[in-house]
Chain A
Amino acid sequence: MQSTELAIDRRALLRSAILLVGGSMAGLPGEAFAQGKKLTKARFFTPAQYSVLDETAEIIIPKTDTPGARAAGVPSIIDDLMANWASAERGANFRALMDDIDRRALAAGGASLRALPPARRLEFVRAYDAEKIGAKDPVYSRLKELVLTTYYLSEAGATQELRYELVPGKWEAWTTIGPDARAWAV
């Protein structure tokens, strides 16, 4: 049990660090963000790869009226998972995936992903996503799974974007909802 508690503490610390960084980044323009990003210490990906991950995740789940992937800490969590969970093979595949996204962005738009104008970035990632999901590419599919999972199960994703209750207390098998009802995260 001790190890779990330690893990929680570590996770809690990490989370507050993420929220701190995410919170400070939320209102800043893109260029200022590049500086802010240096505060996030990538441990697994190279800075260039991390920047692709960060941008791709935020394009998949952007900030709207609720936090996006970046503010929910998704890039940092995935970097963490690469260091703490992924096999060597998966890690290598994910590194190669980030390189591939950047290379393809360069080929398609004449600039690395982060250097593309925002609208072009979105357009590029949308096309890349459609291609890879259509081909059932296992590496990209797993990345997308991790982006969605760590976003919707993050505190921001589960409690702000969606709804979550640790202790529901009762089971209501049949409720009536309106058109704006949000889904349960779990």
Chain B
Amino acid sequence: MTFDAIVVGSGMSGGWAAKELAEKGLKTLVIERGGHLEHGADYTDSLSPWELENYGLVKEAEAAEHYGIQSQCYAFSTATKHLWVKDSEHPYTTPEGRPFMWIRGYHLGGRSIMWARQSYRLSDMDFQSNARDGHGSDWPVRYEDMAPWYDHVEQFAGISGSREGLPQLPDGQFLPPMDLTGAEKDFKQKLEAAYPTRRLIIGRCAHLTEAKPHHEELGRIACQYRSLCERGCSYGSYFSSLSATLPAAQRTGNLTIVTDSIVHSVIYDPKTGKASGVRVIDAKTKQGRTYEGKVVFLCASAIPTAQIMLNSKSEAFPNGIANRSDAVGRYLMDHLSGMGASGTYPGFEQNYHSGRRPNGFYIPRYRNVTEPTEGLLRGYGFQGGVMRDNWRRGLGQAGVGPEFKASLRKPGPWRIHLSGFGEMLPRPDNRVTLHPTRTDKWGMPIVHIDVSLGDNERRMVEQVGADAKEMLERAGATGVSVRKHYGGAGLGIHEMGTAHMGKDPTKSVLNKYNQAHDVPNLFITDGACMASGGCQNPSLSYMAMSARGAHYAVQFLREGVI
């Protein structure tokens, strides 16, 4: 079958590529390796806690046998189990002593269903970081190239936030911000007094605090503050491929979706020097078939995109398609995560909150922004919150009987927590390769993921913990406990960099249009394209890259350049 455009993957990036390509008139095929997921019907957001199977607890033996990695994700429960892969069915290898926790969902919409919805722009500082300190390839784009595309995707997706005028975290086209609790405002004031150039802002998140007509047209309504987001939102109140981009693509009449179809490789035509389509393995029958297209977008997420490229071998590309640079699979990055601090925030016994805000506060990066730091490159930001505790404070407490019950009936003290997200340097040795011998049950070579921390990352893990502790203590928090334990590579769930953009075709994979240097009609707009990761949650950047890449792909097709 022949299409104008083929998009591999239906998650955050694939949904955007499909929407933009279809809206510009291209007959577009989206290929999803997982099964169909129906917006609304396949969500579990109508269930109260007591209605969840096993109160949310996934059978231990099943979790150990099939979900050893996925069960490490905070959002894994009986309410969401159908949204995570079975690790037992989708194996990969890692070197001894260097685990990589690869958190994945294979279904229509991908991880746009379970994502944490924090949405931040990269800044010009981020686009210049590689050039400045010499790590990785200089980005071939700057913030001014991306700014209109951030505007474009924010308006459509619906991003709630406050305008702050911070150079390291550019403002966007925001829906109204969610409110900080009074205790958060108090912490903000104390923090900003103690550290004059640090800022605390409300998190920017992909939630409709107000549904505009173009959101309502797609059946999306304003957030109802249930905070059941990782189960899927039947109201479409947060942005996902299923609530927003795929329905928008669908209504053009130009979209075809195939599910249960695993892309094996991109087909290269040596006569034209272009990609002619993709080979697919049917997930159910294991039969092979091909689809042809004038342009191919790889949006399979960073690791599978590299896997597909490395598996697309031909005489012209013995090491994988568009890989003359040997950069495909290299420079894999995640965000350092799991470090932070928490404590009790005294006072405010007469105040509480009502509703469940699916968002927290954010402390944008200050290291090497306003606070130059000797011996440390790049930086980190913090997500956090100050909320009153509930009965869960009783879990580690001694106590039984009527007094114990009476004490847990009352709201607990205000608790504060900070969680750091740190930038990893792009390093060529952090890479994905194809396993030399092992294949999965569909005959696809499995990936070998080799990621380790460098000196800068190790220093950063320590510094994040130390900063979190100091900020809490200076604001008067008590009983502060610090997490300097780095959760492990992968658990940031922000894989990036495996087919990165760069100016030099001998060192990078993509040019400034997200177009492969070596194959002009091959575009990659998922996390693979990132030349550096910043410390911001990256999904908004993938959205902007996808919309922008689609724009140029259509322009080049019309001009007959590709």
- Tell me the A residues contacting B by CB distance below 8 Å: 1, 4, 7-8, 11-12, 15, 59-62, 64, 68, 77, 80-81, 84-88, 90, 122, 125-126, 129-130, 133-134, 136, 141, 144-145, 148-150, 152-155, 158, 161-162, 164-177, 181-186
| B216 interface residue per 8 A CB criterion | no
Contact of A64 among B353, B388, B402 (CB under 8 A): B402
The answer to whether A85 and B54 touch across the interface, beta carbons within 8 angstroms, is yes
Give the residue among A80, A149, A162, A174 with the most B Cβ atoms within 10 A. Answer: A174
Contacts A129-B399, A141-B395, A182-B411 supplied; 14 other A-B pairs, CB < 8 Å: A1-B82, A60-B401, A62-B405, A85-B58, A85-B59, A87-B64, A88-B61, A168-B224, A169-B355, A171-B353, A173-B181, A176-B352, A181-B410, A181-B411
6 contacts between A and B (CB under 8 A): A7-B78, A122-B401, A148-B394, A162-B390, A183-B388, A185-B391
Could you say which residues of chain B place their CB within 8 Å of the CB of A85?
Answer: 54, 57-60
Could you say which residues of chain B place their CB within 8 Å of the CB of A177?
Answer: 350-352, 411
The answer to whether A176 and B60 touch across the interface, beta carbons within 8 angstroms, is no
| B374 interface residue per 8 A CB criterion | no
Could you say which residues of chain B place their CB within 8 Å of the CB of A168?
Answer: 224-226, 354-356
| B145 interface residue per 8 A CB criterion | no
Could you say which residues of chain A place their CB within 8 Å of the CB of B392?
Answer: 148
The answer to whether B50 and A154 touch across the interface, beta carbons within 8 angstroms, is yes
What 7 A-B pairs have minimum CB-CB distances, sorted nearest first?
A173-B179, A168-B355, A153-B49, A87-B60, A171-B355, A7-B53, A172-B354
Interface-side segment among B39-47, B162-170, B298-306, B436-444: B39-47
Q: How far, in angstroms, from A176 to B54 measured CA to CA in the complex?
A: 35
Contact of A174 among B64, B351, B356, B399 (CB under 8 A): B351
| B412 interface residue per 8 A CB criterion | yes
Q: How far, in angstroms, from A135 to B338 measured CA to CA in the complex?
A: 27
Q: B192 to chain A: closest CB distance in Å?
A: 19
The answer to whether A182 and B401 touch across the interface, beta carbons within 8 angstroms, is no
Q: B202 to chain A: closest CB distance in Å?
A: 10
The answer to whether B410 and A183 touch across the interface, beta carbons within 8 angstroms, is yes
Could you say which residues of chain B place their CB within 8 Å of the CB of A133?
Answer: 396-398
Closest to B54 in A: A85
The answer to whether A81 and B396 touch across the interface, beta carbons within 8 angstroms, is no
The answer to whether B225 and A169 touch across the interface, beta carbons within 8 angstroms, is yes
| B332 interface residue per 8 A CB criterion | no
The answer to whether B400 and A60 touch across the interface, beta carbons within 8 angstroms, is yes
Could you say which residues of chain A place their CB within 8 Å of the CB of B406?
Answer: 64
Could you say which residues of chain B place their CB within 8 Å of the CB of A183?
Answer: 388, 390-391, 408-412
Could you say which residues of chain A place their CB within 8 Å of the CB of B288?
Answer: none
Contact of A145 among B53, B395, B402 (CB under 8 A): B395
The answer to whether A166 and B60 touch across the interface, beta carbons within 8 angstroms, is no
Q: How far, in angstroms, from A80 to B401 measured CA to CA in the complex?
A: 24
Could you say which residues of chain A place their CB within 8 Å of the CB of B180?
Answer: 173
Q: B252 to chain A: closest CB distance in Å?
A: 28
Q: How far, in angstroms, from A126 to B184 measured CA to CA in the complex?
A: 37
Q: How far, in angstroms, from A184 to B411 measured CA to CA in the complex?
A: 7
The answer to whether A169 and B224 touch across the interface, beta carbons within 8 angstroms, is yes
Could you say which residues of chain B place their CB within 8 Å of the CB of A62?
Answer: 401-402, 405
The answer to whether A171 and B179 touch across the interface, beta carbons within 8 angstroms, is yes
Could you say which residues of chain A place their CB within 8 Å of the CB of B354?
Answer: 168, 170-172, 175, 184
Contact of B405 among A64, A77, A150 (CB under 8 A): A64
The answer to whether B402 and A158 touch across the interface, beta carbons within 8 angstroms, is no
The answer to whether A185 and B49 touch across the interface, beta carbons within 8 angstroms, is yes
| B556 interface residue per 8 A CB criterion | no
Could you say which residues of chain B place their CB within 8 Å of the CB of A11?
Answer: 50-53
Would you list which residues of chain B between 118 and 152 have a CB under 8 Å from chain A?
none
Give the residue among A62, A184, A185 with the most B Cβ atoms within 10 A. Answer: A184
Could you say which residues of chain A place their CB within 8 Å of the CB of B51?
Answer: 8, 11-12
The answer to whether B395 and A148 touch across the interface, beta carbons within 8 angstroms, is yes
Closest to B223 in A: A171
| B156 interface residue per 8 A CB criterion | no
| B178 interface residue per 8 A CB criterion | yes
Q: A8-B47, A15-B50, A168-B355 are in contact. Are A161 and B405 (CB under 8 A)?
A: yes
Closest to B348 in A: A174
Could you say which residues of chain B place their CB within 8 Å of the CB of A129?
Answer: 398-400
The 8 A CB mask of B337-353 against A (1 = contact, 0 = none) is: 00000000000001111
The 8 A CB mask of B357-396 against A (1 = contact, 0 = none) is: 1000000000000000000000000000000101110111
Q: B397 to chain A: closest CB distance in Å?
A: 7
| B318 interface residue per 8 A CB criterion | no
Q: How far, in angstroms, from A133 to B397 measured CA to CA in the complex?
A: 7
The answer to whether A176 and B351 touch across the interface, beta carbons within 8 angstroms, is yes
Q: B506 to chain A: closest CB distance in Å?
A: 50
Closest to A174 in B: B182
Q: A60-B404, A168-B225 are in contact. Are A130 and B398 (CB under 8 A)?
A: yes
Q: A78 to chain B: closest CB distance in Å?
A: 10
| B272 interface residue per 8 A CB criterion | no
| B55 interface residue per 8 A CB criterion | yes
Q: A113 to chain B: closest CB distance in Å?
A: 13
Q: A163 to chain B: closest CB distance in Å?
A: 9
Q: B486 to chain A: closest CB distance in Å?
A: 24
The answer to whether A149 and B55 touch across the interface, beta carbons within 8 angstroms, is yes
| B287 interface residue per 8 A CB criterion | no
Could you say which residues of chain A place their CB within 8 Å of the CB of B179?
Answer: 171-174
The answer to whether B395 and A173 touch across the interface, beta carbons within 8 angstroms, is no
The answer to whether A184 and B390 touch across the interface, beta carbons within 8 angstroms, is yes
Closest to A89 in B: B60
Q: How far, in angstroms, from A172 to B51 measured CA to CA in the complex?
A: 26
| B48 interface residue per 8 A CB criterion | yes
Q: How far, in angstroms, from A4 to B44 measured CA to CA in the complex?
A: 8
